[in-house]
Amino acid sequence: MNGILLLIQFMTRLPVFSKTTYDPIAIGRAIKFFPFVGLLIGLILCAVFMVINPLIDNKLIVALIIVVVEILLTGGLHLDGLSDSFDGLFSYRDKERILEIMKDSCIGVNGALALIVYVVAKILFLSELGWEYIVFIPVVARLNTVLHAGLGRYAREEGMGKSIVDETSIQGVFFAILSVLVIGFILLGLDALWLVVGALSFGFMSLYYIQKRIDGITGDTMGAVLELTSLVVLFIGVLL
């Protein structure tokens, strides 16, 4: 339970009314529950949607509000990883230089473009889908964080994401997959299977690409894959 509270405290901006101290090992062991943190975020977003949707007769504006609220709930933590990863991975430098670029607090052209395209695409996709997707997307997006942590290796000798990678087991990956499938079937029925398969396919492909580029993964790349997974699943949802 302490690990789950730590996940909420350090991976969101939601208040945790319990005394918790930072414990990287506890966070690492609890990461298999990360989709349930996504479920909490999804339920809050759904509540916002239920309130504003009858009041605003414009799907794009409603979707924009949902995206902004989600950014506020997470503090833009994973979006920071998205921009840093694009700046580094698409600089076409060697591994050490890529890792240096990803640690740089300044944002480059690649990172800025990634953020712009991400936000625009997410608003457009969300405007075409219902409340079930608003709940499910934050859940399934966090599945690939567990997948990368369980199957990947850490690219640096130390870092915030190292304990997550070190403490995540294959059993934890299967637990997360099963949890997401159950939540998905409750919300979307059999359509959830296609969404999870699409998410996992992207997860494996992105893991292969990232590890080929920098011999491992980082906290930034896990954040980037989380956000990109949400776009992949939203796009599949639009097709369905």
Q: Classify residue 11: in a domain, yes or no.
A: no
What was the pLDDT predicted at 93? Answer: 87
Q: Classify residue 65: in a domain, yes or no.
A: yes
Q: Classify residue 29: in a domain, yes or no.
A: no
What was the pLDDT predicted at 153? Answer: 93
- Quote the distance between the C-alpha of residue 188 and its chain's center: 20
What was the pLDDT predicted at 19? Answer: 65
Model pLDDT for residues 53-105, shown as the tens digit of each residue: 999 999 999 999 999 999 999 999 899 999 999 999 998 888 899 999 998 88
Q: Classify residue 150: in a domain, yes or no.
A: yes
Average pLDDT by stretches of 10, the chain with 240 residues: 81 79 81 95 97 96 97 94 95 90 91 97 97 97 96 86 90 97 97 97 97 94 97 96
Q: Which domain holds residue 89?
A: 37-239
Structure tokens at 13: 């901006």
What was the pLDDT predicted at 45? Answer: 98
Q: Classify residue 162: in a domain, yes or no.
A: yes
Q: Classify residue 140: in a domain, yes or no.
A: yes
Q: Classify residue 5: in a domain, yes or no.
A: no
Alpha helices in the chain (DSSP H): 2-11, 24-30, 34-52, 59-74, 77-89, 95-103, 109-126, 131-141, 143-151, 162-167, 170-188, 191-214, 219-239
What was the pLDDT predicted at 22? Answer: 72
Q: Classify residue 17: in a domain, yes or no.
A: no
Structure tokens at 210: 């990232």
Model pLDDT for residues 223-236, shown as the tens digit of each residue: 999 999 999 999 99
Helix (H, G, I), strand (E, B) or coil at 154: strand
Q: How many domains are contained in the chain?
A: 1
What was the pLDDT predicted at 200? Answer: 98
